[in-house]
Copies of this chain bind each other. A is one copy, B any other.
Amino acid sequence: MATAAVVAEEEEEMLLDEQHRINLLRLASNTTSQVAIVGAHVCPIESLDYELIENEFFKQDWRSRGRAYIFRYVTLKWSLCFLIGALAGAVGFFNNLAVENIAGVKFVVTSNMMLSRKYGWAFAVFAGSNFVLTMFASVITAYMAPAAAGSGIPEVKAYLNGVDAPGIFSLRTLVVKVVGCIAAVSSSLHVGKAGPMVHTGACIASILGQGGSRKYHLTCKWLRYFKNDRDRRDLVTCGAGAGVAAAFRAPVGGVLFALESVSSWWRSALLWRAFFTAAVVAVVLRALIDICKSGKCGLFGKGGLIMFDVTSDTVAYHLVDLPPVILLGIIGGILGSFYNFLLEKVLRIYNLINEKGTGYKLLLAATISIFTSCCLFGLPWLASCRSCPADLSEDCPSIGRSGNFKKFQCPPDQYNDLASLFFNTNDDTIRNLYSAGTDAVFQKSSILLFFVTSYFLGIMSYGLVAPSGLFVPVILTGATYGRLVGILMGKHSTLDHGLFAVLGSASLLGGSMRMTVSVCVILLELTNNLLLLPLVMLVLLISKTVADTFNANIYDLIVKLKGLPYLEAHAEPYMRQLTVSDVVTGPLQTFHGVEKVGNIVHVLKTTGHHGFPVIDEPPFSDSPVLFGLILRAHLLVLLKKKEFLHTCALSSFDASKPFSADDFAKRGSGKHDSIDDIELTVEEMEMYIDLHPFTNTSPYTVVETMSLAKALILFREVGLRHLLVVPKSSSRAPVVGILTRHDFMPEHILGLHPFLLKSRWKRLRFGKSTIIKFFSSLC
C-alpha cells in the first residue's frame, strides 16, 4: 500500500506541469468566512445537502423498505403537516390573545389615569410598562436564545436555500421567540408579529420533523423518517407558510408568501401540502375565535386578529384616478427603497453596538423603548382637539381600549386624532386608517407627523435584540402614507381615503419587500375586498419597478448583512467568463478506498471539509479511479463504531452489518458530532477502514471547462452541497477539486479574480444608479 501511495505521488508530480495553472489558483484558499450573524449572535454555519446519497449501505436499506414503511412515511408526513398547521394556528391565536390583553390593560389603565388628569402618572405607567416588557423580551432573547432576535425570516430564507445555522430551530428559540414577540409587540415598540410568526412556524415544523428535542428528552421514535434535509425542507416551507397564514389570517397569502419570498425550491406536491397546512391554520383560528366571541378571552375580540373588513360597497374608480395612483406607486417605491437603505445603515450601526456585548444590546433596547414611549405619549399633545362627528355608531370620544376616537387630553365631545394613531396597538391603528368613509376624521398635520414618526421608528426598532417583525410597521407606515396622498390630492381624486391607505400599504410593501403576488393576496384577504385588485396590482408593479432601480429587497439586504451565504438562482454575468477550474481551491484531500484510520483522523482534525473524494488506486483498480464521495458525518459514524480492519484489504465480511440506518440519519438543524469527541487507541489508529460501502458512488460531477454559470445551475437547481470537478483528460488525476456553496459566492470569486470587479454589474447603492444596471437587475 505504501508503494502504491508513492507511485501515486510520483504520478502527481509528473502531472504538475499540466496542472500548473490550476495549482497556482488552488494556493489561494477559500477565505470566505464560514460564520454569519444568526439572530443577534455570530456563529458558524453549514450547508445542507439535498443530494441522494447512493452508497451500498443506503441501497440495501432502501431495498429493505416495504410498503408498510411507505405507508407510515406518508401518513406521518401528512399528520405532521396537520400538526404544524394546528400548532401554528394555536400559537398565532395565543400571540394575538396575549398581545391584545397585555397591551389592552396597559392602555385602559393609562387612559383611566388621563381621564382623572393624572398625566404624569399616566406617562410613568405607560413608559414603565413598555420598558419592563421591552427589557423582558430583550433579556430572555439575549441570554437564552440569541437566534430568536429579529424577524427570523432571513434565517428561514437562508435555511430553505440550504444554509444551516445552529440554534435557529431549537425548542429554546421557539419558546423565546413566542414569549419575546408577545412582550415586544405589547411594549408598543414599533415592531410586528408576522416575521416572528414565520420563524415560529418554521421552528415548529423543524422540531416536529426532527422528532422532538433530544436535549429536553422530548423525542418520538416514530418521527425518525424525516431525518434528512429534503424532508425537513418541505416541512419548514409548510411551517413558514402556516406562520404567515396565522399572523394575518390569510391562508392563501401565507402559501404564496412561502412560495414567493421564503423558499428556494418548490414543486407542485409541496404547494398542495403547504395549502393543506394553511387550511388547517384557517380552521383552527376560526374555531378559536368563535370560542372567544362569547367574551371569555378578556380584551381580545374587541380588537382581535388582523382582519380589516373594509367593505365599502362602492369601490368605483375611473380613468381620472389613475394619475394619483401612479404617483402614489412611484413615490411609494422611492420611500420603500429608501426605507431599505436606511434600515441597512441602522443595522450596521446596531451590529457594531451589539458586538460589544450583551450589556450594550440591552442598553440599546432600553434607549429605543424609552424614546418610543416618549414619542407615542408626547406627540399626540401637538394635535389640536377636534369635535366629534355627529352621526357615529361608536362612542366618541372613546375611553379605554378600543374605539377610533381617543379622548386623550381633550375635553368631552372632542377627540385627538393623533392619539387614535399613536396611542393604540398597531392592528387597531391600521384598522382605523383602512376604514372607509373616514376622510374627515384625520387632519393633514396629524397624518404627516404620524407618517414621519412611524417611518423612522420602524427603522430604529427592527435591529434590537428582541424578536421583531418588519411587516406590520411597513403596512402601518404605508397606510399613513396612502392617507397622506389622499389628503394632498383633495378633490383631484374621487377615491376614498381608506382605499388610499390600502394602496399606500401596497406601495410601501412593494417598495421595501418587493413581493408581488403574495402581498396582493394578503392585502385582499386582509381587507376582504377583491374589487381593489387591479389598483393594488398596478401600485405594486410600479413601486417594485421603481424600487428595484435602487437596491435589493429588504430580506436580501439583511441576509447579505448577516453574512449568510445565500445562493441566488441566477448567475452573475461574469460567471460566464470563468470556468469552474478558475475558482476551485485546494488543497484537495482525498482518501483511498481502504484507508488507514490514522489518516482519516488526521485529515478530519486538520481540515474543515465535509466531503472527501474516495480514489481507488492499484491494486484495487487498474488506474486511479474516482470511486465516489464520502461525507465527514458518515466517517465520524464509522470511527465511532470502531469496526476496523487489520490489513489494507477489502473487507471480507459485510462491512455494513454493524450499522443501522438510524446511525447515519442526519441530526437536527445545527447539531453535529465532532472528531474531537472520538477517542482512539494507537493500535486502532494503525488499522484500516473499507470506505467502499459507505461512499456515495454517484456524486454529481462537472468537467473543469464548464463555465461557473452553468455549474451554478446544476448546483442550485439540484440543491447540492458538494460538486466534484473532474478533468477533461482521462490521463490526469481523476478529481480536480470540489465546489461548494462558498465557491459560488461573489465575494470569493471576486477575491480570486479582482479584475472582474470592474466588469461586475452589481446592484447599486442608493443614489448611484445607472439605467443599465437597473435593466440587468430585471432580467
Contact = CB atoms under 8 A, between A and B. Distances in A.
Nearest to A534: B282
Contacts of A62: 576
A54 interface: yes
A260 B271 contact: yes
Interface stretch (A102-110, A500-508, A727-735): A727-735
A269 B570 contact: yes
A264 to B, nearest CB: 9
A83 interface: no
Interface stretch (A203-211, A419-427, A770-778): A770-778
A772 to B, nearest CB: 5
B622 A729 contact: yes
A52 interface: yes
B74 A776 contact: yes
A718 B714 contact: yes
Contacts of A538: 279, 283
A718 B734 CA distance: 25
- Give the size range of A's interface with the partner: 35 or more
A225 to B, nearest CB: 11
A186 to B, nearest CB: 28
Given A524-B530, A544-B272, A718-B714, A54 B570 contact: no
A775 B698 contact: no
Given A772-B67, A772-B70, A776-B70, A706 B717 contact: no
Interface in A691-712: 697-698, 700-703, 705-707, 709-710
A286 interface: yes
A621 interface: yes
**Binding site secondary structure of chain A:** helix
A134 to B, nearest CB: 35
Contact of A709 (B52, B73, B260): B52
Given A698-B705, A776-B74, A730 B625 contact: yes
B698 A707 contact: yes
A308 to B, nearest CB: 12
A78 interface: yes
Given A268-B260, A731-B623, A775 B279 contact: no
Interface in A403-443: none
A252 B520 contact: yes
A122 B625 CA distance: 84
Contacts of A445: none
Contacts of A75: 775
B516 A271 contact: yes
A617 interface: no
A521 B728 CA distance: 51
A77 interface: yes
Contacts of A163: none
Contacts of A279: 534, 537-538, 541
Interface of A: 51-52, 54, 62-63, 67, 70-71, 73-75, 77-78, 251-252, 255-256, 259-260, 266-269, 271-272, 275-276, 278-279, 282-283, 286, 311, 313, 516-517, 520-521, 524-525, 528-531, 533-534, 537-538, 541, 544, 569-570, 576-577, 621-626, 697-698, 700-703, 705-707, 709-710, 713-714, 717-718, 728-731, 734, 771-772, 775-776, 778-779
22 contacts: A74-B775, A74-B776, A75-B775, A77-B779, A78-B778, A252-B521, A259-B271, A271-B516, A275-B517, A275-B520, A276-B541, A279-B538, A521-B521, A525-B530, A525-B533, A621-B729, A622-B729, A623-B730, A623-B731, A626-B728, A698-B702, A730-B730
| Closest CB pairs A-B (n = 8) | A698-B706, A730-B730, A279-B537, A717-B717, A74-B775, A74-B779, A67-B772, A275-B516
Given A697-B706, A701-B701, 20 more contacts: A52-B710, A62-B576, A63-B577, A71-B771, A73-B779, A260-B271, A266-B266, A269-B570, A269-B779, A282-B533, A525-B533, A622-B729, A623-B729, A626-B728, A697-B705, A698-B702, A698-B710, A700-B702, A717-B717, A718-B718
